[in-house]
Chain A
Amino acid sequence: MMKFFSQFLGGALLLATGPGSTVAWAQPDDFISRWSGFWSVRFDRAPSGAALLDELPDDVVLIDDAGGGELAAGEYAGLKLSDEALDAIRDYDYAEELLPENACRAPSVAFYMQAPFPMEIYAGRDLIIFRMEYFDLVRIIFMDGRAHPPADALHTLSGHSVGRWEGNALVVETTHIVPGTFMNNGFDHSADLRLIERFLVSEDGSTLSATQVYEDAATFEGRAARYMSWSKRAGEYVLSYDCDPNYGG
């Protein structure tokens, strides 16, 4: 069923939007079953993904808040923020977060991947889909060699993602992300954020790890990163989030 779904996704995408250049398909036969399925967030740093951490450039600032950790107001993991970002933080009103109109305001992919909620992955040759439980968000990773759209194209919470294989690692570059919270403490990223992710499934297929590397000169100097891990669980599935803005009113 999963294999059929993945092949269908690949075909549907080609018809709907058209691929870029042909991409070599060099993944093993068990690729779909290894990557597809239900992945539950781990609250530790899975050692099987240590290679991803080792690959991070030395100048990257690691944000240690993945899997449910949070940074307090005024803490930015050691990043040097731009004057514009600091001005925006000074104007930020935390009390507004509690208003019904903001209760269901979903974060962008620059923050929602680290949330303590599971996801389902549907992996195909030309398309990989991440179905996130958090706010019912969906990511589409184009694997058909297409380029990003023009810079002024629509920006969205999940942005525009193109992926490629580097050995066993899935490398995803995402642009066109609508501005949103970066650390859930009043510090937002801009629409210029560029995101590079590397995903790796462990040898035994039980653990998925990933790094996200961020560049956003409009809000901070240099580069920042997060490290995340998930465990595969058979028989489980993503629940509807169905956010109710009046949950507390």
Chain B
Amino acid sequence: MTKLTPILAGIFSLALPVAVPAHHSFVVHYVGERIISVTGVVEEFRFRNPHGIIFVNGTSSDGNSGSWKIETNSPNILRRRGWTDKSISPGDEVIIEGYPARDGSNAMRIFRVRFADGSEMIGQRPSADNE
């Protein structure tokens, strides 16, 4: 019986619902129905799955200044739209529009980035390709 207990417990636990942390959802962490913008200078650009990250020192359209952490959708999706790891560089002056974090922090998911020369790149359009 003693030997059977852990075996039975293992089988039983497989069948029970569990709460396993998952790769984060867009809609749970960001407000998809609202777009804000951040104007500032790029400090760092990372282009790795599951998400790219743009660190910007700037001010949001809501008036929040400081360091912003702006997440892109998957670099794989963006590569097919022409993005590369050289698309954004430290020192670039940018206006980035995106979806604000639900927790109110200086973070958002990108919609698009506009550069000083007037060019722009699309990240995640409203209600599409959330990864």
CB neighbors of B among A178-213 (8 A): 179-181, 184-186, 188-192
Bound complex: CA A241 to CA B118 (Å): 31
**Contact between chains at B21 and A191 (CB < 8 Å):** no
Chain B residues, Cβ within 8 Å of A87: 17
Partner of A241, one of B15, B18, B49: B49
Known: A68-B130, A117-B77, A239-B76. A84 touches B25 (CB 8 A): no
B51 sits at the interface (CB 8 A): yes
Binary B-proximity of A15-58 (CB < 8 A = 1, otherwise 0): 00000000000000000000000000001000000000000000
**Contact between chains at B15 and A94 (CB < 8 Å):** no
Binary A-proximity of B24-62 (CB < 8 A = 1, otherwise 0): 111111000000000000000010111111000000000
For chain A, the count of residues having a C-beta within 8 Å of the partner chain is 54
Interface residues on B, range: 35 or more
**Contact between chains at A117 and B131 (CB < 8 Å):** yes
**Contact between chains at A68 and B131 (CB < 8 Å):** yes
Known: A84-B16, A152-B11, A191-B14. A107 touches B23 (CB 8 A): yes
Known: A71-B27, A116-B77. A244 touches B48 (CB 8 A): yes
Chain B residues, Cβ within 8 Å of A117: 74, 76-77, 131
Chain A residues, Cβ within 8 Å of B79: 239
A93 sits at the interface (CB 8 A): yes
A88 sits at the interface (CB 8 A): yes
**Contact between chains at A103 and B50 (CB < 8 Å):** yes
A13 sits at the interface (CB 8 A): no
A-B contact pairs, 24 of them (CB 8 A): A43-B129, A68-B128, A70-B25, A70-B28, A70-B130, A85-B17, A91-B19, A94-B29, A96-B21, A98-B29, A103-B23, A106-B23, A116-B128, A116-B131, A117-B74, A133-B76, A155-B14, A185-B25, A186-B28, A191-B15, A242-B48, A247-B46, A247-B53, A248-B51
Q: A103-B23, A247-B49 are known; give 11 further A-B pairs, CB within 8 A.
A: A69-B130, A84-B16, A87-B17, A97-B24, A103-B50, A133-B76, A155-B14, A188-B19, A192-B14, A241-B49, A244-B50
